[in-house]
Structure 1
Amino acid sequence: MGKWENGMAADQIAGARWQKARASDAKNDCIEVARLSENEYAVRNSRFPDGPALIYTKDEFDAFIDGVGKGEFSNMAV
């Protein structure tokens, strides 16, 4: 990983361009994702934009997106 660490304050990630799903409601109940580099992504809670961010490699992020696309986490949306 690069200069970012898991759990660091999201507002300390200079230049991050956060993207939120259009499905987010008026209370900002969503997560936001930012691509930090060619091989790193950050995820934060949109209700706490200055709070901690989790950092993932491209392979980790791709595996998660693949699982979402295949419905592997659908049981959690109850």
Structure 2
Amino acid sequence: MTVPEMAVQGWHKSSYSAQANDCVETGPVVVGGMAVRDSKDPEGPALLFAADAWAAFVEGLKAGEFPLA
């Protein structure tokens, strides 16, 4: 699903990505939740996550629930 640019309150890349365009970007959605897109294709599709699902994902990251590859 493509997210209209006006629906996202600004896109952000991780500080770990430096100036590279080979990462994901996240942006809070005006109606709540989070959008995630590929930085190489900013006009392409984005994944949408409900606010509670995104919060659970972030908490899982902080708790180390996802092993590093």
Whether TM-score is above 0.5 comes out as yes
- Deviant stretches of 4+, over 2 Å: none
1:3 aligned residue: none
Indicate which of 36, 50, 54 corresponds to 1:57.
Answer: 50
Provide the TM-score with structure 2 as the length reference. 0.80
- The one-letter amino acid of 1:49's match is P
Contact map agreement 1:42 1:56 (CA 8 A) in 2: yes
How many residue pairs are counted as aligned between the two chains?
68
**Aligned-pair distance for 1:39?**
2.2
Q: Give the percent of matched residue pairs that are identical in Structure 1 and Structure 2.
A: 34
Q: What is the distance in 2 between the residues matched to 1:49 and 1:32?
A: 9
Which consecutive unaligned segments of at least 5 residues does structure 1 have?
A: 1-6
Please state if 1:39 is matched with 2:32: yes
Which consecutive unaligned segments of at least 5 residues does structure 2 have?
A: none
The CA RMSD measured in Å over matched residues stands at: 1.8
Q: What is the distance in 2 between the residues matched to 1:41 and 1:67?
A: 16
Provide the TM-score with structure 1 as the length reference. 0.73
